Amino acid sequence: MRLRFDKTAKEKISQHPTLIRTYERDESENLTAYFARNHPLEVEIGSGKGRFIYTKAQTHPEHDFFGFELFDSAIVKGLNKTIKQPLPNLLWVRADAQYLSRFFDQNSLQTIYLNFSDPWPKARHEKRRLTHPSFLSQYAALLNDEGHVEMKTDNHDLFFYSRDTFLSEGWTLMEESHDLHQTDRPNIMTEFEERFSKTGPIYYLKARRH
Ligand SMILES: C[S@@+](CC[C@H](N)C(=O)[O-])C[C@H]1O[C@@H](n2cnc3c(N)ncnc32)[C@H](O)[C@@H]1O
């Protein structure tokens, strides 16, 4: 599903600095205390058009949320939701998550969500996968004692690559499903999920580092 380039996105984003922060290349800022209250922090990496994290924030006002996304044309769709109905516990962050550990203190995050991450199937692109060991070591440092990663994908190979990597990097699988929609686990459908669950199962795992 290719996203159309939105030439108005950059300007729109620049008009709403209280709803969205943008960081070029390796720029960063510590956002741990952004919401100035000591509530659990949850991050989605690659939030795309934002339905998942927006709905999470709407239904969990007692937690604070960050949606990280690389591209203006995608994140502006999420921004539009918060322009229509602002949420005090959600910040959009247009930034590259390879620098995630510069945005938060160690042991500060409760949950990191990876929903339908780009599979990067070629071996030479393995480092870009959001479950590459270099990403998992950042997540391990950022998550607090009860912290965990939740991952959903329709991509069989990405799922089993990720599963193997979590295990070989010393993580514990807390939950696993090879057909999430056949379980009674509560689920917020992402935009990609709505589209790709028509053609096959959705894989899910929840993992913690200790
Ligand atoms: C396949 S889309 C899935 C979007 C959404 N999670 C969903 O399920 O509908 C993956 C998204 O991850 C974003 N992404 C990939 N690598 C990223 C990175 N290093 N930092 C932030 N976002 C990233 C892409 O720009 C893309 O919008």
Is the pLDDT score of 2 beyond 80? no
151 CA to centre of own chain: 9
CA 47 – ligand 1 centroid, Å: 6
Q: Could you tell me the residue ranges of all domains in the chain? A: 39-208
Which atom of ligand 1 lies nearest, measured to the CA of 1?
A: 1
- The mean pLDDT value for 198-205 works out to 95
Query: Active site includes 154?
Result: no
Question: pLDDT at position 100, please?
Answer: 97
Structure tokens at 137: 């070591």
Q: Does the beta carbon of 159 lie inside 6 Å of ligand 1?
A: no
- The mean pLDDT value for 123-133 works out to 98
Mean pLDDT over each residue of the chain, to the nearest integer: 96
Question: pLDDT at position 67, please?
Answer: 98
pLDDT tens figures, 33-52: 999 999 999 999 999 999 99
Fold category of 39-208 in CATH: Rossmann fold (3.40.50)
pLDDT tens figures, 174-191: 999 999 999 999 999 999
